[in-house]
Structures are given as C-alpha cells and as structure tokens.
A = this chain, B = another copy of it.
C-alpha cells in the first residue's frame, strides 16, 4: 500500500499502551495532605497476597501514592514456598482485572483428583500398599475456569506488583513494618489512625483515615486493636515439601488424596519450572508424639516456657523424615527427589482453625477505621487450597467499599457512619466462619484413616468423597453467599426466578453472577458475559428483556425507559447497563429498539440464547424477564420484576449517593 498522502493527529501514546483501568469518580474533595505530619487516606500493613491485592485494587480505582501507602517487612516478594492454589472464583476475578493470562498458561491447571486408598487385595500379607479408587473432576461446580491453578505464591505477588507499578510510582515500601497502631481522634479527627512505621531510615509516625492490617497470622495490627483469633489447634502435624519428583506413582500429575495404612498424603501437582521439569507439592501427615502446649504457642509466637518444648517438636521434623514418611504411604510405589538439589522448600506445620470475630475497629463515632484482612483474620489448614484465595477475597470485598466511602460515593455524608463499609465485617466474617467449619471437617477426615475397621476413626471412601464434593461449592469460591444486608436484598418477590439450584447459576442475591457465553448484537462477537463486569468499581444493571422487546409499548421497552431515567440520578459512569435479549433473530436494527439500548449499552447488548441459554441458566423466564443489580464485585445485589424498577432505584439509592 504505497500511501501518498498521510495525516495523523498529535502523538497518541495511549493508543499503543496496555489499557488502564478507569478510575472511580470522586465527589469528595481531592486529598491534599496539609501540615508537616505524613498523612494518607489508606495505609496497608503487609504486602502478601491480601495486602498487595488491596493496594493494586485501590491504585486502579484511582488512589495515588500520596493517598495510599503499603509497607512490608520483607525486602522482596516471596521466592519460594507457602500458598500455591488459586480457586475458580479467584481466577474469574483476576480475569476481570486482566491479570489472569500468565497464571492460566504457566500455572498448573488442576482438573482432576485421584483418590487412593489401602489396597483391597492384600495378597502379600502385612501391607498391600495403596490402589486407586477413583478419579473425579477437581471442580464439580460450573465456573468460567473449571479447574484450580497451582502456581508459586511469589509469582502471584510478582504479577500483582508488575500491575501495581503501572499505577503507582512508589509501589510497595519494602523492609518497612508497622510497629504500633492506635486510634487518636482528638489529635486529628479526620486522620485518627496513628501508625508507627519502622524502615531502613528509622522510625516515623504517620496518620491515616484508614489502616488495613494484612500482616499475617501474627498480625500486629490485630493485636494492637485487641482483636483475637478464636478457635482450636488440633494435634495433627503435617510436613509440606515442594520438589521435582522421581517416581513411578501413576498419578503424580493429578491432585491426589492418599489414605494408606501408614498415614495420609495429599499430592498437589505444580507448575513447570525453568529446567523444563514440573514441581510437585506433598502434604505429609507426620507421626509425632509430642503434643502442643496450648493454642497460644501457635497463635502468638512461641515464648517463654513453651520455647523449649516447641523446639523439641520442631527438631524432630526434618526433610528426611517427611520423605521417609511419604515413602511409607506411597508403597508399593517409589517417590524421592530427582536430585539432591531438587527440593525447593519444605516446612512443618500444625493444623489449627481460628478466626477473629471482629474484622474491624471503629472509632468513637462508629466509623470503620482499622480493618484486618487475610491470615490476620483467619488461619486454617492449607490442604483445601483456601488461604491465598479467601485472603485476596477479603481485600476484594473491602476494596470497592473503601474507595466508594473515601470518594464520597456512598449515600452517607463525609465523616458519618458508613453502612456500606459496615458490610465488610458482615460479609467476610460470615465467610471466615464457614471456612473454619469446612476446614475442620475436611482436615479431620483427611487426617483420619480410611478403611480401618477399628472404631471411631474409620471412614469410608464414600464419606470422604461426600465431604469433598459438597464442600466444592465453598472451596471453589463459586458457591459462597453473602448474607442479607444493605447490599444484598435476599428477599425477592416469588416467581421472578425459577428454580433454586444456585450453584448451577440460578440468580440469587448474595451470590456471584455465573459466566455464560453470549453473542453481542453490535458485532456478532462471541463473548463471556463476565467480561461486561470488570472490576472497576461500578454497579451494573443486568436487564433480561423479553420476547416483546421489539414492541415499543411492551414490558421490555417500558422497563428500559424507566431504567434510562434511573441511571442519571447517580454519578456519571457509576451504573452501567448490560442487556440480554431472547429473540431468535439478530437482524433487527437499533432504530427498532428503545433508545437507551444504543446510548447506554451499544456494546453490552447481547443475544442471550443463541450460544448458551442464559435465561435458563439464570432461571429467568423469556416471557417475563427480570432485572438484576450486580455489585462492583460481581455479586447480585437485588432482583426485580421488569415493571418493578422502583425496587432497582431504591436499592441503588441505598448503595450510591445521588447527584443533583
């Protein structure tokens, strides 16, 4: 193409850079720190997955380095060990931020679980070893990504930090820790949280509107606020090891629950590493006679008299003892590290399930000031692959409520109690309690024996499988349900939604919107509906029109016209309209539709039945339609009849400030 005349407007760097997330609008005055005191709107203590994820989210929502500080005691992100599992719901959310690709292609996709149990044919006498009982799908519930992904926690952190650096010059302030926190309203009512921060250049004091403790199981923030982890520590001791395996065990690349006469092992296949080899993680139940002293030892660090005893316990466990025990369980198969240097990391830990009842400390006026997220709120066993996920989801839940509050988008006047922010406690402590309950049951069963006939500890494979499968809604993250609150109107008029199999996608306030494939009207693009719900802090009205859509006086048109006058009541861009239609044909044109379809939803208007039947999946009738309001985090807020747009308006007025 020999061009002989060419013109272009001024430099358009934004055309070539990766897209940035659009900031959330701010109605409150711009933050301008005054005086000599170092001040922020949010300080985050800790940059593990929970703290870093929160920082990334707030930075994407528009908080600049002058408003937002995140410090971490470690000099760099993690290089080995610790958490490694991402659940389907977490994958959906990472996708909604454009952060999933590397995880999906370079992590290990875990699609199947193999169950191994004591061999039924004990021909050789003493021990017949183990045999495979069955292979089942690892994720049994519908999800956009129907598998787990295992990948090094440090890599997740690196991916989050890479994204953070697109929005923040400072990034995480490393080798720096919060050493003291207290609330002092008299000193400065607007910035009442006072934190002492210790870094390479000494100790300094900062003030902030809000502080978030993402500082782990031994959280200083939690202890400073007099919040307590409550619960139990079991006697079970486990070893965990990441290594490149040399083995003839047939299922080393599947997740395995192995129950043998010699103990239990869980196999977690892991990602490929730079050598071209694949990592394997083993959780090994270590036989240990010394009982732990008390819960305190494990919770708050080991001090004083417990030290000696804890040391004795610790010293009993070595890498060699973990592998020796694993080898016993794997019989008749052999398993060992491929080379001497093929072990990446190992550790020993004790199973415990504890959670804090309170996740928030308020000031004297009732304003939420100090939050805790992640391990600071709940600790539990790692075997259901929940830790990193529930922690990041705490931050995900908190992030948009916090930015709405700071930016003056909630219906509450500045400096007053904010009921939107209150729901962090309501929603996430509910999940933490469910997590603890599930983990107790799962861990107990997993540490027990299968197939023994001697008394209480006996457990059939079917019982174990039952706990595994029914727990899948929870462990996948896809089945969690937030309780009724200002953001979740669980009482829906009878008959709007057909069915109650919410795990399969039927709409339910408090649950996430399942993904379906839809075909966009404007361009025929085959899309994932969840892509219309990116994590940009916006509410969405999901409108299921009916078969009468093309009738100008029909129920769909009437409803859409009513919706079109609700959207402008709120700050521009804060409510996006997504529309599905059930019509078999795609040949109608914009001029045959209510005007709002093109003006508000040109690129979010889809055929909802041609590729998958979204109406059936969601339990919506094609004749009656429905309206669902979806929160910024992808959870359903309320569901209304097409003609009940008043409910939509009322719900939104409870969530967002109106503009004049």
A-side interface residues toward B, CB under 8 Å? 1-9, 11-20, 22, 77-82, 98, 101-102, 105-106, 108-112, 132, 135, 147, 152, 154-155, 157-158, 217, 248, 250, 252-254, 269, 272-274, 276, 278, 298-299, 302, 310, 313-314, 317, 319, 341, 343-350, 352, 379-382, 387, 522-526, 586-587, 589-591, 602-603
Contact = CB atoms under 8 A, between A and B. Distances in A.
Contact of A79 (B8, B18, B158, B250): B8
B7 A346 contact: yes
A590 B248 contact: yes
A451 B511 CA distance: 55
A250 B588 CA distance: 9
B8 A81 contact: yes
Contacts of A17: 155, 158
Contacts of A525: 109, 111, 147
Contact of A112 (B109, B111, B152, B524): B524
Given A79-B12, A158-B16, A347 B5 contact: yes
Q: Among the interface residues A111, A352, A387, which one has the most CB atoms of the partner chain B within 10 A?
A: A111
A276 B604 CA distance: 13
Given A16-B77, A16-B79, A278-B603, 9 more contacts: A1-B349, A4-B314, A5-B314, A6-B347, A8-B345, A15-B274, A17-B155, A19-B106, A254-B523
A205 B173 CA distance: 48
Given A80-B8, A152-B16, A524-B112, A253 B603 contact: yes
A536 to B, nearest CB: 11
B109 A98 contact: no
Contacts of A20: 274
A348 B5 contact: yes
A9 B345 CA distance: 6
B276 A22 contact: yes
Nearest to A157: B16
A269 B299 CA distance: 58
A2 B217 contact: yes
A12 B344 contact: yes
Contact of A348 (B4, B82, B344, B345): B4
13 contacts: A1-B381, A4-B310, A5-B348, A15-B344, A16-B152, A19-B274, A22-B276, A108-B523, A111-B523, A111-B524, A112-B523, A253-B602, A253-B603
B348 A9 contact: no
Contacts of A302: 4
A641 B179 CA distance: 71
A586 to B, nearest CB: 8
Given A101-B101, A302-B4, A15 B154 contact: yes
A349 B2 contact: yes
A382 B1 contact: yes
A5 B238 CA distance: 11
Contacts of A7: 319, 345-347
A506 to B, nearest CB: 25
Contacts of A381: 1
A1 B106 contact: no
Nearest to A98: B105
B524 A274 contact: no
A19 B276 CA distance: 10
B346 A14 contact: no
Given A1-B382, A248-B590, A80 B12 contact: yes
A-B residue pairs, 4 tightest by C-beta = A112-B524, A250-B589, A253-B523, A101-B101
Nearest to A341: B9
Contacts of A346: 6-8
A250 B299 contact: no
Contacts of A98: 105
Contacts of A314: 4-5
A573 B9 CA distance: 50
